[in-house]
């Protein structure tokens, strides 16, 4: 029904101000959709793949709207915060280097990160292939000389291919585990398990923008 009148033709047109109901339930039109996913390991940050599972397959069938895609990419073995939306403009703005959107990760490292590592990241690294990176903020959470390992938190504003892994490789270390905990104003809820997601409210979306 449209405005309490039974629709008798599929050619019926509606305005956004019209009230549309089906079996007594009001149908609310929403152009854009936003989901916050806690990405598990072993899943691709892609919309489709012939042989491997993608993050889209983690959405319920009714949430797999046309145009839904991940904002940026997390490597297959990287976990944590991933935003999925069909809002192309927001997708672009969150990824544009000029927008300076912070992305924070926690990682376990094979190798002992120290003050020299922090200073090197602060200056902005140049990778082996000549790629120059913006300065990054590195915080050392734990050092274990005996096991030659570290736990760190890193804040970057870029999202180049395997960036954090390549940054530590340039310092002679290896990233063992990598988990994104925030992106801009978005943070993962503590009770959101791996592979689960939540719908973002319009207020939350506005805070991102």
| Residue numbers annotated as active site | 75
CB 162 within 8 A of CB 45: no
Q: What is the number of alpha carbons within 13 Å of residue 45 lying toward its C-beta?
A: 22
Determine the distance from the C-alpha atom of residue 147 to the mean position of all C-alpha atoms in its chain, rounded to a whole number: 31
Rounded-to-integer distance, Cα 95 and Cα 102, Å? 10
- The residues pairing with 109 across neighbouring beta strands, listed in sequence order, are 150, 175
Question: Residue 179 burial by CB count (10 A; 0-12/13-18/19+): exposed, middle or buried?
Answer: buried
Q: Find the length of the chain.
A: 209
Query: How far, CA to CA in Å, does 162 sit from each of 8, 53, 66, 90?
Result: 55, 20, 28, 23
Structure tokens at 55: 């993050």
The C-alpha angle 83, 129, 39, rounded to 5 degrees, equals 20
What is the DSSP secondary structure assignment for residue 38, as one 8-state letter?
E
């Amino acid at each position: 029904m449209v405005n309490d009148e039974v629709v008798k033709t599929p050619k019926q047109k509606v305005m956004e101000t019209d009230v549309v109901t089906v079996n007594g339930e009001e149908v609310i039109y929403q152009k854009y959709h936003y989901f916050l996913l806690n990405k598990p390991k072993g899943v691709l940050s892609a919309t489709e793949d012939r042989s491997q599972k993608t993050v889209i397959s983690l959405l319920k069938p009714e949430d797999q709207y046309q145009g839904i895609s991940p904002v940026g990419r997390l490597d297959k073995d990287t976990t944590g915060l991933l935003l999925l939306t069909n809002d192309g403009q927001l997708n672009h703005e969150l990824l544009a280097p000029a927008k300076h959107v912070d992305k924070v990760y926690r990682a376990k490292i094979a190798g002992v990160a120290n003050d020299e590592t922090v200073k090197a990241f602060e200056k902005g690294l140049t990778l082996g292939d000549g790629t120059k990176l913006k300065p990054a903020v590195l915080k050392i959470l734990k050092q274990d000389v005996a096991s030659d390992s570290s736990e760190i938190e890193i804040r970057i504003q870029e999202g180049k291919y395997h960036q954090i892994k390549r940054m530590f490789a340039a310092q002679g270390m290896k990233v063992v585990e990598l988990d994104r905990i925030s992106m801009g104003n978005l943070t993962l809820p503590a009770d959101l398990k791996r592979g689960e997601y939540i719908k973002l409210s319009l207020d939350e979306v506005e805070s991102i923008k």
